[in-house]
Amino acid sequence: MLQYYSPSLTSYQRLKTREVKIGGLLLGNGHPIRIQTMTTTDTMDTDATVAQSIRCIEAGAELVRITAPSKKEAENLQAIKDKIRAAGYNTPLVADIHFTPNAAEIAARIVEKVRVNPGNYIDKKKFDTIEYTDAEYAAEIDRIRERFTPLVKICKEYGTAMRIGTNHGSLSDRIMSRYGDSAIGMVESAMEFLRIARYENYHQIILSMKSSNPQVMVQAYRLLVRQMDEEFGENYPLHLGVTEAGDGEDGRIKSAIGIGTLLEDGIGDTIRVSLTEDPEFEIPVCKDIVSRYNGRSNHAPIPPINEGEKINLPYDPFSYNRRASHTVGNIGGHHVPVVIANFQEEEKIHHADLQAIGYKYDEATDKWNIGDGAADYICTGNKLIDFALPGTLQVICNYDTWSNATDKTKYHPIFDAPNYMSATSIPDNLHFIAIDANADWNFITGLLDKIRSAPNAVLCIGSTNAHHMASVRRLLIALMQQKINNPVILCAQNSNKTIDEQLIDLATNTGGLLLDGFGDGIWLWNNTHEMQNLKTTGRTYLEVKNNHQFLNNTAFSILQASRTRISKTEYISCPSCGRTLFDLQETTAKIRNATNHLKGVKIAIMGCIVNGPGEMADADFGYVGSGPGKITLYRGKEVVKRNVPSEIAVDELIGLLKENEAWIEPAEA
């Protein structure tokens, strides 16, 4: 029996799904989580596509997807497949289809799997709002059945698998009209196609619910699992991905939050990390994400949520609501989540050290310049700071150190939970308690009793349990059940070797909780002091100078990706594919350079006009390839400048931002 959407919210288990055979690869039904990517070459360039596919396979891809925008590309899949097989690789190939059933019907006879997008397989998106009567809606479903069934029959005949891949940004007008731009609309979009396939007794199906917003994506997958379970009493395997995640650190963090949150609860049979980078660089990130679950089921036990059969969560895992907390200082209530920087291990703290966490000191004027990504608290352990701090920065330190501090409005003590239990003197004002959610549950129960009468305590919760997120979530559920509303800081520590592993670990362990509305702050630390000791598994993409800056950036990026605190420009860039009409990586870097000071503005950079506008989701402005050397600019979903020559398109985009009062000069920012 499912616990809402997962086999268990406290004990790591994979969700039971049907087994699907894709060529020689078995997926679902407890088989290892498969890793895949998608080529970015022109499908008509056979040699380039073969070479890139082989690079991806060599990097570890277990499935390679290739776009087939029209019949000619679908036909060319045969030449591509022949060459890959001749080179000795049996990795299954997947045809990516949008808008063209004819291409799908050709590809299904050639490759091992086809992916269709139910938002545009049959429907052309016109952004029309039509009111459908029930009879009209049923007639639409009949129309889909008529057009989709031939593909199902071909797949059955040729033993071809299929992914029904819904994208949040490209829901059909029919779905939008009835369900709106919602997670439930995404689910229904896939279910319409899945019901038709089941009617034909075709089950070689995998489903996906992608969005560039990890919150929407996670809710949609959870709802889909519940819906399949209720309607069919079984689940089909799930392909996980965050679309248009972007590049570098942000792309990895967004992907880790979306994909990792679901994997933590046992959901997901195959993953693709969509980065605006060469596809082979996606594979090490996938491996890092998947490897977190090796041996996970051996984690220390976490107390079950309810004693009886059925659990009753005190929050809704299918829609976002922030956990209600009362305010202590600037933490909790309606305050955005705070960021805490960890300087406990530094021998001495200097003015210049604070630059890494967003505070730049100008000696000549004796003033601090405060960035949008400036930490709110600094934990100094057993040290006091011997210079005047910036006005927005406060200090957390050990109790004895705090006793010696003269300015008690700036300094606040922290206790670890056992010391807090034995402490005879607790300050009346803001203080922090560090809690390991993996501690003995009897101890936790006693601790919560004491906290109930400590309204000014802020709880810093981490876990030494290998199933970190579920362990912290269990304690948060206990707080909610017992109506203890003290603010909570989510703590995560790791000692992973590579930057990618650290980003993925920190983002999954905290981001998944933020998506469920938990957390009034975030506190990250690691055991690595020197960035030189950190290595990337892909290519070098970070420009951070030291570990404090790395952790501070990561904290703000996690808050941004979970949409709980916006501190920078948001980029929604497609991963590119054979349809892409310009160099996406170079253009994304150019646009990022020009606009990365525009806090809160969402800019989409999309490779083609066929899918780009639909996939831009909730971007404020769009930069979309509309022909070779031509760019079309959008404000929301509205075209404002058509076919601008690409040499001047970034300047035109800046002009558009200015016309819409979304621009500020970098110096002012």
Using CB under 6 A as the binding rule, whether residue 397 contacts ligand SF4 is answered as no
Using CB under 6 A as the binding rule, whether residue 210 contacts ligand SF4 is answered as no
Give whichever of 398 and 611 is closer to ligand SF4, judged by the CB atom: 611
Closest CA to 261 of 312, 313, 191, 213: 213
Closest CA to 121 of 79, 68, 76, 54: 68
Q: How far apart are CA 276 and CA 603, in angstroms?
A: 14
Q: State the CB neighbour count (10 A cutoff) for residue 628.
A: 8
Using CB under 6 A as the binding rule, whether residue 276 contacts ligand SF4 is answered as no
To the nearest whole angstrom, how small is the minimum distance from the Cβ of residue 209 to ligand SF4? 17
Using CB under 6 A as the binding rule, whether residue 576 contacts ligand SF4 is answered as yes
Residues 6+ apart with CB under 8 A from 556: 339, 373, 565, 567, 568
To the nearest whole angstrom, how small is the minimum distance from the Cβ of residue 608 to ligand SF4? 3
Q: How far apart are CA 274 and CA 335, in angstroms?
A: 32
Q: Which run of H or E residues covers position 76?
A: helix 71-86
Per DSSP (E only), the strands in 176-294 are 205-210, 239-240, 270-271
Residue nearest to ligand SF4 (CB): 607
Using CB under 6 A as the binding rule, whether residue 165 contacts ligand SF4 is answered as no
DSSP string, 234-245: S---BEE-BTTB
To the nearest whole angstrom, how small is the minimum distance from the Cβ of residue 218 to ligand SF4? 22
Query: Contact region for ligand SF4 (CB under 6 A) — 161-169, 170-178, 572-580, 588-596?
Result: 572-580
Query: Contact region for ligand SF4 (CB under 6 A) — 412-420, 504-512, 574-582, 645-653?
Result: 574-582
To the nearest whole angstrom, how small is the minimum distance from the Cβ of residue 107 to ligand SF4? 15
Using CB under 6 A as the binding rule, whether residue 579 contacts ligand SF4 is answered as yes
Using CB under 6 A as the binding rule, whether residue 616 contacts ligand SF4 is answered as no
Please give the structure tokens belonging to residue 220.
Answer: 């949609």
Using CB under 6 A as the binding rule, whether residue 619 contacts ligand SF4 is answered as no
Residues 6+ apart with CB under 8 A from 439: 417, 447
Number of chain residues interacting with ligand SF4 (CB under 6 A): 12
Taking CB under 6 A as the criterion, the residue among 175, 608, 619, 649 binding ligand SF4 is 608
With 0-12 CB in 10 A as exposed, 13-18 as middle and 19+ as buried, what is 556?
buried
Q: Helices H, strands E: what count in the chain?
A: 18, 25
Using CB under 6 A as the binding rule, whether residue 358 contacts ligand SF4 is answered as no
Using CB under 6 A as the binding rule, whether residue 279 contacts ligand SF4 is answered as no
Taking CB under 6 A as the criterion, the residue among 577, 603, 644, 653 binding ligand SF4 is 577
Q: How far apart are CA 497 and CA 640, in angstroms?
A: 47
Give whichever of 244 and 436 is closer to ligand SF4, judged by the CB atom: 244
Give whichever of 122 and 605 is closer to ligand SF4, judged by the CB atom: 605
Taking CB under 6 A as the criterion, the residue among 166, 342, 611, 626 binding ligand SF4 is 611
Using CB under 6 A as the binding rule, whether residue 282 contacts ligand SF4 is answered as no
To the nearest whole angstrom, how small is the minimum distance from the Cβ of residue 621 to ligand SF4? 16
To the nearest whole angstrom, how small is the minimum distance from the Cβ of residue 606 to ligand SF4? 4
To the nearest whole angstrom, how small is the minimum distance from the Cβ of residue 371 to ligand SF4? 32
Using CB under 6 A as the binding rule, whether residue 574 contacts ligand SF4 is answered as yes
Please give the structure tokens belonging to residue 358.
Answer: 């967003």
Q: Which run of H or E residues covers position 291?
A: helix 282-291
Give whichever of 39 and 557 is closer to ligand SF4, judged by the CB atom: 39
Helix (H, G, I), strand (E, B) or coil at 497: coil
Using CA atoms, how far residue 597 sits from 338, 564, 568, 666, in Å, is 20, 19, 7, 6
To the nearest whole angstrom, how small is the minimum distance from the Cβ of residue 236 to ligand SF4? 24
Using CB under 6 A as the binding rule, whether residue 592 contacts ligand SF4 is answered as no
Taking CB under 6 A as the criterion, the residue among 61, 216, 285, 606 binding ligand SF4 is 606
CB 194 within 8 A of CB 207: yes
Q: How far apart are CA 3 and CA 635, in angstroms?
A: 42
CB 249 within 8 A of CB 553: yes
Residues that bind ligand SF4 (CB under 6 A): 574-577, 579-580, 606-608, 611-612, 615
